[in-house]
């Protein structure tokens, strides 16, 4: 068997599009999506392969996603997407939701899914309660070494079995969506507190610990990114690691313990994509600029195409052109009508 081709480097400029797991079901869907993205001038596909502790490729680690009824659909969507994209000169980054372990108001009906198989891996409060199920993601606890190892194993599996050009991290943050007082409550399980005490000699509520508990939780998330980076480097040397991040760098660090600016500055990630999903050009520019002074790596603005009128989209694309032309569109399903006309114009088509 021939070795896979080497990874393709980040395109200059990068014109990426997020393709969610909800967008494809059949081989025909995959072929149509890739062909259309190529025809519209995109050069990078952020192709979702993991959403909520389930995946859209044949895995030995996690089950198939609900989009495929948790069963093998009889084809490999990721392999097909890569084949079709590379034939058209497009890069493919495997889009990977990092911390989500499940979503929805009901538990999974699959015994092997993490919510059922590894309940101790989820964010848990001092009373032993996990985040409540609802219309949002419930998260794995990155403070636990076994959780970080699991995430690294998934990256190793993808990068070792597919000719991907990169891994694209999403939800690589403490997402408190829908959870009252979650930043204070989670995680407070005995194991996490024991690890914190062993490393620092402290407890989260000690008077002298102002900020230390937050910093430690942020560092555990950074450890997860480091382990995923190391797994990627070993399994697919030269592949890029990029991350969708909160739109404002300071807010990301303070509220979600996502130290993305430091990841970029140190070279831990090759690019960040701030999710600057706003219709206000002044806000868009400020949010993108919050990452612009970190030096090393690329800042690729994420544009919320789905919420923009044509004039607002035109202004954001023009700002990206002034910055060198990098941008990423969220998401594939929004590529229609007048919005698509603006994107075509930005692509010179």
Does the pLDDT of residue 189 top 60, yes or no? yes
Does the pLDDT of residue 217 top 60, yes or no? yes
CA distances from 213 to 188, 195, 208, 209 (A): 11, 12, 11, 7
Residue 55: alpha-carbon gap to chain centroid: 13
Q: What is the mean pLDDT of residues 82-95?
A: 98
**Mean pLDDT (the chain, rounded):** 95
Q: Extract the tokens encoding 40.
A: 């519209």
* Alpha-carbon torsion, ordered 141, 136, 152, 291, to 10 deg: -100
pTM of this structure: 0.97
Does the pLDDT of residue 37 top 90, yes or no? yes
- For the chain, what is the domain count? 1
Q: Is 329 buried (19+), middle (13-18) or exposed (0-12) by CB count in 10 A? A: buried
Residue 84 covered by a domain: yes
The H-or-E segment that residue 41 falls in is none
The pLDDT confidence band at residue 210, using thresholds 50, 70 and 90, is low
CA distances from 347 to 1, 60, 295 (A): 38, 40, 27
Residue 111 covered by a domain: yes
Cα–Cα dist 42/35, whole Å: 10
The pLDDT confidence band at residue 293, using thresholds 50, 70 and 90, is low
Residue 263 covered by a domain: yes
Is-contact 171 98, C-beta < 8 A?
Answer: yes
The pLDDT confidence band at residue 123, using thresholds 50, 70 and 90, is very high
Q: What is the mean pLDDT of residues 264-280?
A: 96
Pairing of strands 44-50, 240-245: unpaired
Does the pLDDT of residue 185 top 90, yes or no? yes
Does the pLDDT of residue 208 top 90, yes or no? no
Please give the pLDDT value at position 347: 83
Cα–Cα dist 62/125, whole Å: 25
Does the pLDDT of residue 88 top 80, yes or no? yes
Residue 191 covered by a domain: yes
Q: What is the mean pLDDT of residues 249-276?
A: 96
Please give the pLDDT value at position 296: 65
Q: Give the domain extent around 259.
A: 15-346
Does the pLDDT of residue 314 top 70, yes or no? yes
Cα–Cα dist 204/209, whole Å: 7
Classified as helix, coil or strand, 194 is helix
Cα–Cα dist 347/349, whole Å: 6
Please give the pLDDT value at position 297: 80
Residue 220 covered by a domain: yes
Residue 9 covered by a domain: no
Residue 2 covered by a domain: no
Q: Is 58 buried (19+), middle (13-18) or exposed (0-12) by CB count in 10 A? A: middle
Residue 10 covered by a domain: no
Does the pLDDT of residue 311 top 80, yes or no? yes
* Domain of residue 147, CATH code: 3.20.20.80
């Amino acid at each position: 068997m021939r070795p896979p081709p080497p990874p393709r480097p980040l395109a200059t400029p990068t014109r990426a599009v997020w393709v969610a797991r909800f967008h494809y079901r059949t081989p025909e869907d995959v072929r149509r999506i890739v062909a259309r993205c190529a025809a519209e001038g995109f050069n990078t596909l952020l192709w979702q392969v993991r959403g909520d502790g389930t995946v859209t490729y044949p895995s030995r680690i996690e089950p198939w996603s609900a989009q495929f009824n948790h069963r093998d659909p009889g084809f490999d969507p990721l392999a097909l997407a890569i084949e079709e994209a590379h034939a058209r000169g497009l890069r493919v980054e495997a889009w990977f939701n990092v911390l989500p372990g499940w979503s929805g108001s009901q538990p999974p009906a699959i015994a092997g899914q993490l919510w059922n198989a590894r309940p101790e891996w989820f964010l848990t409060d001092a009373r032993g309660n996990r985040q409540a199920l609802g219309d949002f993601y419930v998260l794995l606890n990155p403070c636990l070494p076994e959780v970080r190892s699991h995430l690294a194993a998934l990256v190793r599996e993808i990068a070792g079995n597919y000719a991907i050009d990169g891994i694209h991290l999403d939800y690589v943050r403490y997402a408190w969506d829908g959870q009252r007082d979650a930043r204070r409550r989670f995680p407070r399980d005995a194991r996490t507190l024991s690890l914190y005490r062993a490393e620092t000699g402290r407890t989260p509520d000690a008077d002298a610990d102002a900020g230390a508990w937050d910093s430690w939780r942020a560092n555990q998330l950074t450890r997860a990114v480091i382990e995923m980076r190391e797994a990627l480097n070993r399994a697919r040397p030269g592949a890029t690691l990029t991350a969708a991040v909160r739109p404002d760098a300071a807010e990301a660090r303070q509220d979600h313990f996502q130290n993305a600016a430091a990841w970029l500055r140190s070279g831990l990630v090759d690019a960040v994509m701030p999710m600057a999903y706003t219709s206000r050009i002044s806000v868009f520019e400020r949010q993108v600029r919050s990452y612009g002074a970190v030096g090393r790596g690329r800042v690729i603005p994420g544009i919320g195409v789905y919420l923009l009128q044509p004039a607002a989209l035109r202004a954001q694309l023009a700002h990206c052109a002034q910055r060198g032309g990098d941008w990423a569109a969220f998401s594939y399903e929004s590529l229609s009508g007048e919005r698509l006309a603006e994107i075509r114009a930005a692509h010179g088509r």
